[in-house]
Structure 1
Amino acid sequence: MKKFSIGYRTLKTAIGAAIAIAIAQYFDLASYASAGILTILCVQPTKKKSIYAAYTRLVASIVAMLFAFVSFELFAYHPLTLAGMLIFFIPTIVSLKVADGFISSVVIIMHIYAAEGYSLTLVYNELALMAIGYGTGIAINMYMPDIQKELNYYRVKIEELYSKIFLEIASYLRQGDTLWNGQEIIDAIKALEEAKSLAFKDVQNHFTRRKNDYYVYFDMREQQLEIIERVLPKVTTLPVIVQEAEIVADFLQDLGEHVHSGNTASHYREKLEHVKRDFSQLPLPQSHEQFIAQAALYQFIEEMDRYLEIKQSFKGLKAKKERPQ
């Protein structure tokens, strides 16, 4: 059973609906409770979505009023007229790309149908309900909680997972076998998906912001993870453990102990150059298995250079005091 909880969006929806109904009731509007419905439909996960929701619903509602006027006044306030009108109304709002406003527009149509007569008073009443409902929905949704703490949580979590992955690979290269099941790879994939979704949500809550530094960071980490997934089989299926394995293990041990959001990639790329030079000074392979192992390790360090190159292109996030070093 899912844990019972009341989120901020739930609270905003409840408060917004109450405010909209209270305002509509204060101005003595007919069907004032509908203002609450229109507000509820406009409370969305982000500010931009809320604005877009209000836009689609406003356009759809105005089109609905025009369709209702033409249909009911030309024919009759009859269920068959309503059905015929909806047959043409729905494709119209779909073509206008405001189909999301169908439910709210139907609310307006039903008000007109129930009134059984078109008048300026009715038009003013419906426009006022829309203004109050949509306006309250947008206003109440302008408050969004700060998600910086959550973004930083995912940053730290992902860095810890990457650190664990490198340390496990280093352990394998030294021992030739470990009990590691690769769970950190799966956890990292899931964490990156959740983190990018959260970072994108933050972008959607700022009207002038087109990107989020955390989103760029998580995207960079995702590219790095693709490299890790690609090269992992090369070093975990070595036919024999050769001298080069210890050199790579030392490098990965150092790298795994210093995974963070700062940009020290150039430092580690220099270390990789030292690794390559150390490789060149070692004796040539004496067997086919040694040749395969050395070739796999060389491919691995080339891919690790690409891994670091991706990080080097990232300007880095501001250091956080709570970040483990």
Structure 2
Amino acid sequence: MKHKLGMRTIKTAIGATIAILMAQSLGLKYALSAGIITVLSVQNTKKKSLEIALLRLNSTLLALGISCILFLLVGFHPVAFGIYLLIFIPIAAHFKLSDGIVVSSVLVTHLLGEGYVNLSLLINELMLMFIGAGIALIFNLYMPKMIHQIKKDQDDIEEHLRTVLFCLANTTRSQSVSIDEEALFLSLANRLEVARLRAEQNRQNYLFDEMTYYAQYMEMRTMQYHVLTNMRQTLGKVVMTLEQSIMLADLTEHIAMSLHEFNTADDLIKKTKAVLTSCRNQELPKTREEFENRAMLFQYLNDVMHLLEIKRQFIANLTDEQVRKFNPYALEEAIN
């Protein structure tokens, strides 16, 4: 099986090599540890890399402080190292420094191996941490842009949503469930999960710029997906085609054709309310079966309203900056 070298792998290999060479050029002891720290510090996003670097620096300061006191009191003995771990690990966990426990403890073993503590040796350990984490942070400043792929995710998701809505419209009109329905919903769910993770990773790659829009968008579409599953389950309980079935099928198709990233859904909500009013004004059901089926269709219509309200709320919650930055014209300029 062929495996492509990922960007993170390449950055890790080059970064670790540079970290070792830099530590060696400065005459630091245990220079290889700088490379290991780089390997452990390269992350998938800029924010995560910065968080890890700061966390491990704080963890190292805490570890060196505790170990110095213990080694001077107990001696440079494996027992002292065990006591250090008993004290350091709970404290690090309490202050949410757990990701730095392993790296910091490796640096502490250098003190144990040397059998003494002085300012020069402490500076040596701090420099190893600075170089290893610093090189990783510098290399993580470059992240491939994901806008093209995220826009493709959006297009694919919206096309999936249209297909699902047309499928539900057909079921509403004919009470005939498409053989592809299960596959359609499963495909949409998988696509949303992949796109959601990509959008969140993209957000984490911006340190000083607001980039929550795509994550918000994917969350909105995920919420709509859950409503669609409710609509599907409701239709599964309808066993007869009524006048209201045709109205709801036409409405669902209209929503599918109007589906768009920046559609405020206001007009669609007005149309849905009009259908709701029309259904309420119609003659009451004559049989129990008709009553039960119309009740299910009424629930379906309420779900349609919820589906549209989710979109309207998403648009309403966008900031002026987001509207300016992420409208289709601004996006086209940013991508080209």
Higher mean alpha-carbon deviation, 278-287 vs 309-318, is at: 278-287
Give the secondary structure class of the aligned counterpart of 1:145: coil
| Aligned counterpart, 1:213 | 213
The question of whether the paired residues in 1 share the 8 Å contact of 2:167 and 2:178 is answered with no
| Aligned counterpart, 2:183 | 183
Deviation at 1:62, TM superposition (A): 1.9
Give the secondary structure class of the aligned counterpart of 2:260: coil
CA distance in 2, matches of 1:153, 1:5: 22
| Aligned counterpart, 2:15 | 16
1:156 aligns with 2:151: no
What are the within-5 Å matches in structure 2 for residues 67-78 of structure 1?
67-78=66-77
When normalised by structure 1's length, the TM-score is 0.89
The question of whether the paired residues in 1 share the 8 Å contact of 2:70 and 2:84 is answered with yes
| Aligned counterpart, 2:327 | 318
Cα deviation digits, residues 38-71 of structure 1 (max 9, x gap): 1122211221211121122112222222233222
Give the aligned residue type for 1:151: I
Deviation at 1:105, TM superposition (A): 0.9
| Aligned counterpart, 2:294 | 294
Percent identical among aligned pairs is 31
The question of whether the paired residues in 2 share the 8 Å contact of 1:263 and 1:314 is answered with no
Structure 2 residue runs of 5 or longer lacking an equivalent are 316-322
The question of whether the paired residues in 2 share the 8 Å contact of 1:239 and 1:292 is answered with no
Higher mean alpha-carbon deviation, 270-279 vs 84-93, is at: 270-279
Deviation at 1:17, TM superposition (A): 0.6
Greater per-residue helix proportion: 2
Which aligned segments of 4 or more residues in structure 1 are displaced greater than 6 angstroms? Answer: none
The question of whether the paired residues in 2 share the 8 Å contact of 1:47 and 1:141 is answered with yes
CA distance in 2, matches of 1:72, 1:240: 81
| Aligned counterpart, 1:52 | 51
CA distance in 1, matches of 2:201, 2:194: 11
| Aligned counterpart, 2:139 | 140
Give the aligned residue type for 1:257: M
Deviation at 1:259, TM superposition (A): 2.1
* RMSD (Å), alpha carbons: 2.3
| Aligned counterpart, 2:259 | 259
| Aligned counterpart, 1:227 | 227
Give the aligned residue type for 1:53: I
The question of whether the paired residues in 1 share the 8 Å contact of 2:37 and 2:133 is answered with yes
CA distance in 2, matches of 1:281, 1:69: 82
| Aligned counterpart, 1:192 | 192
What are the within-5 Å matches in structure 2 for residues 27-106 of structure 1?
27-106=26-105
What are the within-5 Å matches in structure 2 for residues 300-311 of structure 1?
300-311=300-311
Deviation at 1:5, TM superposition (A): 2.2
Give the aligned residue type for 1:145: P
Give the secondary structure class of the aligned counterpart of 2:314: coil
Cα deviation digits, residues 183-241 of structure 1 (max 9, x gap): 22233233223322222222222223465111111111222222222232222321211
| Aligned counterpart, 1:120 | 119
Structure 1 residue runs of 5 or longer lacking an equivalent are none
Give the secondary structure class of the aligned counterpart of 2:177: coil
Compared CA separation, residues 179 and 304, structure 1 to 2 (3 A): closer
Give the secondary structure class of the aligned counterpart of 1:311: helix
**Count of equivalent residues:** 320
The question of whether the paired residues in 2 share the 8 Å contact of 1:41 and 1:53 is answered with no
Compared CA separation, residues 283 and 109, structure 1 to 2 (3 A): same
Cα deviation digits, residues 253-285 of structure 1 (max 9, x gap): 222233221215122223224423543565443
Give the aligned residue type for 1:13: T
Cα deviation digits, residues 3-58 of structure 1 (max 9, x gap): 51211111111111111111111112111111111112221122121112112211
When normalised by structure 2's length, the TM-score is 0.86
Give the secondary structure class of the aligned counterpart of 2:117: coil
Cα deviation digits, residues 141-188 of structure 1 (max 9, x gap): 111111112222221222122111111111122322133342222332
Higher mean alpha-carbon deviation, 63-72 vs 36-45, is at: 63-72
